[in-house]
Structure 1
């Protein structure tokens, strides 16, 4: 019994240690797409900010956008209780978007609380629509700075390295998936004209499948009725034969008794 208690206590202690060691991994500022984040496409991402303090609120968040992969479109979604400032910077090399060259791009978005901010025990999401996502990388790193109401500043700027342990203050990383439908970015006129054709083919195939299924389903009751009729016919023959046999036997008994 004593050995069992010691083992149980050790297991509880180990579990507690795992929880304590794992907690920081879930408490940092992160970025996650609301849907696909495909190379060359557009996406809506959420910068998730948890409050890590028990005695202070998060009142400011600054997110830097990578200059090595400038984005032609960055549009934050309004968040109640927060003021949003978008900072643009000149590009070393202009980029082309929608048939025109851009000489500047968004380099930072800042959210500043106009009220209580993110209070202890809560988190806040800050949605941003962005694109076109780069095609020459598998991820985008957004360095972030979190400021608390007690003037404490936490810099989430350490870039995680593959094969290495997660840094103490990792920067938010957006993983990019492969380009969808074999093309990059928003579909051009040619791509858009091809899309309805593909959809029509899919619809036609679906209709054909549905028709075939309906036909099969409609035929099933007829088969069932035919089978039932055959069974009833056989039962009738058996009952009739039994009746004839009974009549014959009854006649013989009467003749014998006479």
Structure 2
């Protein structure tokens, strides 16, 4: 076999392996996720369910997100999305759940978006504000059903595995972390809630001090220049007086 034939065969085999690897990897990457993926326990948060379209010959036309009933969320609101109709479904819980806001017997069980389209090669984000997040669990699972225009239905409902590996159809999962000692339990934006620091409160006096120094320096320079002019004038007058005295004598 010639060297060129060997090279061609090596290139063909490499391309085939690469295509197979990509073919196996892409479906694992293209699944419904929740962003951001974590929030503080006891707080409020805004998340987006990010839905990619996985099909080349169909569009995503409906998304159903199921909310947890074992850790119900007292407050849920949905951001309108142009081109999509949204329906928030509430229902009775299997059993009442005690929270800091009182006993909850009903909560949001499902949010459904329909009427729009996620075309092939595109994705869409569906935003929800919710809270207060529970303090007695480290994650919340939101099983999601994705429906395509061709009638295909994909259920993203597999819970995280104990060994950390990813299941075939992982459900969007929000990790919950303990609230920080310095922050409150309501998840407010840190930038808007941050107290004034010493450097911030000292800014005005510092600027004022610098301005005062510049002003005094300018005044001193002005007075010094005026004194110099008066001195020069005196020298001129003196010189003229000497010249006149010499002529008179």
Give the TM-score of the pair, scaled to structure 1. Answer: 0.67
How large is the RMSD of aligned CA atoms in angstroms? 3.3
What are the superposed Cα offsets for residues 190-245 of structure 1, whole Å, 9 maximum, x if unpaired? xxxxx98x714x2x245559988x99xxxxxxxxxxxxxxxxxxxxxxxxxxxxxx
The separation in 2 between residues aligned to 1:72 and 1:89, in whole angstroms, is: 12
Paired residue for 2:113? 111
Paired residue for 1:24? 27
The separation in 2 between residues aligned to 1:57 and 1:172, in whole angstroms, is: 20
What are the superposed Cα offsets for residues 150-182 of structure 1, whole Å, 9 maximum, x if unpaired? 111111111120325422211111122331345
Paired residue for 1:86? 88
Paired residue for 1:248? none
Aligned residues: 204
Paired residue for 1:47? 49
Paired residue for 1:33? 36
Q: 2:195 aligns with which of 186, 192, 199?
A: 199
The separation in 1 between residues aligned to 2:163 and 2:53, in whole angstroms, is: 28
The separation in 2 between residues aligned to 1:6 and 1:164, in whole angstroms, is: 39
Asked if the contact 2:72–2:97 (Cα under 8 Å) also holds between the matched residues in 1, the reply is no
Paired residue for 1:252? none
Asked if the contact 2:63–2:147 (Cα under 8 Å) also holds between the matched residues in 1, the reply is yes
Paired residue for 1:253? none
Paired residue for 1:142? 142
Paired residue for 1:67? 69
- For structure 2, which runs of at least 5 residues remain unmatched after alignment? 210-249
- Find the residue that maps to 2:40 and give its secondary structure: coil
Asked if the contact 1:43–1:131 (Cα under 8 Å) also holds between the matched residues in 2, the reply is yes
The separation in 2 between residues aligned to 1:50 and 1:87, in whole angstroms, is: 24
Q: Taking structure 1 as reference, are residues 50 and 85 closer, same or farther at Cα in structure 2, changes over 3 Å only?
A: same
Asked if the contact 1:94–1:104 (Cα under 8 Å) also holds between the matched residues in 2, the reply is no
Q: Taking structure 1 as reference, are residues 55 and 4 closer, same or farther at Cα in structure 2, changes over 3 Å only?
A: closer
Paired residue for 1:155? 155
Paired residue for 1:180? 180
The separation in 2 between residues aligned to 1:162 and 1:17, in whole angstroms, is: 28
- Find the residue that maps to 1:37 and give its secondary structure: strand
Asked if the contact 2:62–2:112 (Cα under 8 Å) also holds between the matched residues in 1, the reply is yes
* The structure with more helix, counted as a fraction of residues: 1
Asked if the contact 2:60–2:148 (Cα under 8 Å) also holds between the matched residues in 1, the reply is yes
What are the superposed Cα offsets for residues 116-169 of structure 1, whole Å, 9 maximum, x if unpaired? x11112111100001111112221111011111111111111112032542221
Q: Taking structure 1 as reference, are residues 124 and 101 closer, same or farther at Cα in structure 2, changes over 3 Å only?
A: same
